[in-house]
Chain A
Amino acid sequence: MAQHSLRNKVAIIGAGMIKFGELFDKSFETMIEEAYLNALKSVDKGLDPKEIEAAWLGTLYPPQGNSGVLLSFATGLFGIPVTRVENACATGSDAFRNACFAVALGLYDVALVVGVEKMRDDGGGLIQRTAVKQLWGGRGVTMPAFFGLHATAYMHKYKISREEIALVSVKNHRNGALYPYAHYRFECSVEDVLKAPYISYPLGLYDCCPVTDGAAAVLICRAELASQYTDKPVFVLGSGLATETFFRGGDLTSFPATRYAAQQAYEMAGVSPDDIDVAEIHDCFSITELISYEDLGFAPPGQGIALLKEGIVQLEGSKPINPSGGLLAKGHPIGATGVAQIVELFEQLRGQAGPVQVKNNPQLALQHNIGIGRTATGSVSCVHILGRG
């Protein structure tokens, strides 16, 4: 077994993002630059860019070229290692994870992580990337279809209705309406969700996250050095990552990759699901959030809906989930998503989340992505656990 752990070796000392949305007036590099400058500005005692010794860039569909040099062009940070990471919807969080490895090892004192995606310039969105010429690899399967398959199976097994699943969208749009960085800042009702056109039955329009442009950035350092930069660092306690495919089995009512990644992260952090005070979890579709409550250990199988009905996961609840509005309201610029979740949790743990600040004085936070790859036949999950210093 492994001899080393990430626990308490890495501190987040700065975090920033840009308002997500249809950013036709901002280029890919401009978005990175703004998120980076916001992260720099957030460092309480200041940080000289010359102190940044390495950087990681998480992005799935860069407009030109495929290397880390895009980050250098956007920030002026040339002459240092810049690594580009791509891992489906875990792209941003895996970029963060790999930066943590290098800092924990002591290779670098300070590192930058940027996640970015420009998705609106191409009007077709991801549905245009549907597997068209696949014989057995899922011809006609889209992102909504992959998660819709889980919705159908879950609804059948646990006798859950579309009305009940809609509570996820209602909650997250309510939070998103308050969150200054969200793409969609409107509330919606259960009726709105049910009346919206179908995208991939049983998922309708408001069960799906929008197609969004955005960028987010965090600055990390070796834990021992954190006090040079801030009196309120946030520490990385646990990290996990795993892959899975439903071709290996299962009844499609769970995302086992999340279960594996969460177990790795909880074990590393030495905490249990009950200890988590606030979480940003992957609600690319309403059903994804509901199933993820169970995969992350917040509720037993088939009982996630109770967290919504009892108000536990609402902004005012005892375990608020997706105070930012989640992907459903904030948007899902894929490479930026995981990093933006970490930005949000950094602010929550420091009590600086403004209108969406949770009221339970959070000590421990969890970040989660579940994404799909190989034409929607396999999934990848990434989980981080963060704690207040």
Chain B
Amino acid sequence: MHTPPVWRIARENARLIGYRCRRCGFVEFPEPRKTCKRCRAPAEFEEISMGTRGKIVSFVVQHRLPEGFETPLPLAVIDLENGARVYGQIVECKPEELTVGLEVEADFRVFYDDAGLRVYSYKFHPVRG
């Protein structure tokens, strides 16, 4: 079995499920919560699909990382279509093609080994065609 931090969010991670505050619309991900970061108060949340497309809010290209990463590695903050903001690694994209506002799409990929088991999650590539 995967370690607890991976196991706890397995469902949300695999299906890109988020939780939207019924009062202000803030989308919490990946853990379901009972307090809202934007309302700064206890709140009710509804389960939503976060969608698979989004836009780059900002990005960097990582040149110095520990072992286990391929560099240069583009990393972005992405606003997904249904309101969630997430961190994402960008693949299938030359660093010089990255721009603020670039449309990207989520793609299920191998992330890392966790106690001998593969962990999958989403990376993002530019929307093609």
Q: Which chain B residues border A259 with CB–CB below 8 Å?
A: none
> Given B58, B72, B89, B112, which contacts A133 in the complex, CB threshold below 8 Å?
B112
Chain A residues with a Cβ closer than 8 Å to the other chain, count: 38
**Nearest CB of A to B6, in Å:** 7
Chain A's closest residue to B3 (CB) is A133
Chain B residues within 8 Å of A197, by CB: 63
A245 pairs with B61, CB closer than 8 A: no
Contact B85 A135 (CB under 8 A): no
Q: Is the CB of B26 within 8 A of A200?
A: no
**Residues of chain A within 8 A of B68, CB atoms compared:** 132
- Complex Cα gap A122–B112 (Å): 25
Interface string of A133-145 (1 = CB under 8 A from B): 1011111111011
Chain A residue with the shortest CB-CB distance to B57:
A252
Report whether B89 and A140 are in contact in the complex, using a CB–CB cutoff of 8 Å. yes
Q: Among residues 187 to 242 in chain A, which have CB atoms less than 8 Å away from a CB atom of chain B? A: 197-203
CA of A364 to CA of B6, assembled, Å: 50
Is A136 touching B59 in the complex (CB atoms < 8 A)?
no
Contact of B66 (CB < 8 Å), options: A130, A135, A245, A248: A130
Q: How far is the CB of B13 from chain A (nearest CB, A)?
A: 6
B32 interface residue per 8 A CB criterion: no
What residues of chain A lie closer than 8 Å to B99, measured between beta carbons? 156
Indicate if the CB atoms of B38 and A248 lie closer than 8 Å.
yes
Asked if A78 is an interface residue, CB under 8 A from chain B, the answer is: no
A247: B residues at CB distance < 8 A: 37, 85
| Chain B residues in 8 Å Cβ range of A127 | 64-66
Q: Which of B63, B87, B112 contacts A201 (CB 8 A)?
A: B63
Show the binding face of B for A, using Cβ within 8 Å.
5-6, 9, 13, 26, 29-30, 37-38, 57-66, 68-69, 72-73, 75, 77, 85-87, 89, 95, 99-100, 111-112, 114, 119, 121
27 inter-chain pairs at a CB distance below 8 angstroms, sorted by A residue, are A127-B65, A132-B66, A132-B68, A133-B5, A133-B119, A135-B6, A135-B13, A135-B30, A136-B13, A136-B86, A136-B121, A139-B89, A140-B69, A141-B87, A144-B60, A145-B60, A145-B62, A152-B60, A153-B57, A156-B58, A198-B61, A199-B64, A201-B72, A202-B60, A246-B77, A249-B38, A251-B58
